[in-house]
Copies of this chain bind each other. A is one copy, B any other.
């Protein structure tokens, strides 16, 4: 790749650019679906037997119902295998993530709009949450913290983790260490679509959960989509994205480094800079070229930049914000002189990083907000993973006889016009003096 070109933003390309970035979101794949449907049906029917068969086949690990669950001894061994600074970093991260998510807790409430009327909303944690954690090369302890902490803060009493074993039947120590820090003790060695199926339907060994969250490969993602309804799921995540809005006060080296922090994820990742300064844009392009050459993942980052990267110059920050809203990026950095002033103009973004010293990885690991964020333009309607994802609400309605009597005519008329005679009757019967 030659240096990324710096282009004046052309508003007539708006729809094309939006669609290009949106289309990266994992598409529907009939072949994957057929495979996954079969796995789910088999696990649903045969339970542990099927789960262990698939684990032998796909993870090349020989397990039994007795060895599916990670033991206390394994947890202890993993903890000792991890060095002290790393343990401390996990604990610091967990503390800050917990503190932030505690602000998201919602209370049950009620009101008495009139004497004889109670209305309310009861907030109840889910009974059982299932967290999927990928294994192998993509073992991300930060993902353990980000999925488990909201469930814990929500008050979910049983949190179950699933993560695929290596061929020797073990789990990476960093994953188990993160689970320990997050307070998870029920961990099963299983991965892929078979793990999702086991969590959704339960087996003799694996409990049925109410919600499955966490990232995974295309089979995991498809399995989550297919069991949605039987259980709840989080969003299906697409490739990573960063959009940096930069003015002339931005540091080109910082902006380039932040763009590369997403471009290194995979070839489908998108890293875009929108700037009001042509000079800054050109300096970012040069920095990208310089820094990308130093990366172990240079090939991946280059391909990502070439396919889905961009440096666009706009006339004003307002125009830059409007474009950011069109793209609704997962991560948005405001590398401008007055980042707080720009926040009200931002309508759609998963996470907003303000100023020159708030790089995206700060949010990935430590600041506290969740790193599970909407991708592929879904920030138009979706939110970061929150404590609210692990509770649900029930409405409460109480009317006294007198209050029902006042409302009776309206209810009966509304029911009648919709053709629901028995609905009407449920009110009418209570108004009969000889019965009520």
A residues whose Cβ falls under 8 Å from a Cβ of B: 25, 85-86, 88-90, 92-93, 96, 99-100, 103-104, 109, 111, 113, 117-119, 121-122, 124, 126-127, 137, 139-142, 174, 210-211, 229, 231-232, 236, 251, 253-254, 257-258, 260-261, 263-265, 291, 294-297, 301, 339-340, 343, 346-370, 373-374, 378-384, 386, 388, 392-401, 403-404, 407, 409-411, 413-415, 417-427, 429-430, 435-436
Cβ of A161 to closest chain B Cβ, rounded Å? 18
Please give, as numbers and ranges, the residues of chain B lying within 8 Å of A384 by CB-CB distance.
Answer: 393-395
Give the CA-CA distance A436 to B254 in the complex, in Å.
Answer: 9
Closest chain B residue to A384, Cβ basis? B395
On whether A261 and B343 interact (CB within 8 A), knowing A113-B99, A410-B92, the answer reads no
Cβ of A330 to closest chain B Cβ, rounded Å? 10
Contact indicator A210/B380 (Cβ below 8 Å)? yes
Partner of A410, one of B258, B294, B366, B424: B366
Give the CA-CA distance A350 to B394 in the complex, in Å.
Answer: 5
Taken together, the copies of this chain in the complex come to 2
Cβ of A263 to closest chain B Cβ, rounded Å? 7
Residue contacts A-B, CB under 8 angstroms, 9 given: A85-B409, A122-B352, A126-B381, A340-B398, A349-B394, A352-B395, A353-B397, A365-B415, A384-B394
Partner of A429, one of B257, B365, B395, B397: B257
Q: Given known contacts A353-B398, A361-B411, what 11 new A-B pairs fall within 8 Å (CB)?
A: A86-B417, A103-B121, A260-B425, A264-B423, A301-B422, A340-B398, A343-B396, A348-B392, A358-B397, A369-B395, A388-B388
Please give, as numbers and ranges, the residues of chain B lying within 8 Å of A397 by CB-CB distance.
Answer: 351-354, 358, 362-363, 367, 369
Cβ of A60 to closest chain B Cβ, rounded Å? 22
Contact indicator B253/A141 (Cβ below 8 Å)? no
Give the CA-CA distance A89 to B424 in the complex, in Å.
Answer: 14
Cβ of A77 to closest chain B Cβ, rounded Å? 18
Please give, as numbers and ranges, the residues of chain B lying within 8 Å of A99 by CB-CB distance.
Answer: 113
Please give, as numbers and ranges, the residues of chain B lying within 8 Å of A393 by CB-CB distance.
Answer: 383-384, 386
Give the CA-CA distance A231 to B377 in the complex, in Å.
Answer: 10
The 3 closest A-B pairs by CB, nearest first: A369-B395, A354-B398, A232-B381
On whether A380 and B126 interact (CB within 8 A), knowing A295-B421, A367-B119, A415-B361, the answer reads yes
Please give, as numbers and ranges, the residues of chain B lying within 8 Å of A356 by CB-CB distance.
Answer: 401, 430
Contact indicator A398/B260 (Cβ below 8 Å)? no
On whether A119 and B368 interact (CB within 8 A), knowing A360-B426, A426-B258, the answer reads yes
On whether A297 and B231 interact (CB within 8 A), knowing A142-B414, A394-B352, A396-B343, the answer reads no
Partner of A423, one of B127, B351, B364: B364
Give the CA-CA distance A403 to B397 in the complex, in Å.
Answer: 48
Contact indicator A361/B263 (Cβ below 8 Å)? no
Give the CA-CA distance A92 to B114 in the complex, in Å.
Answer: 15
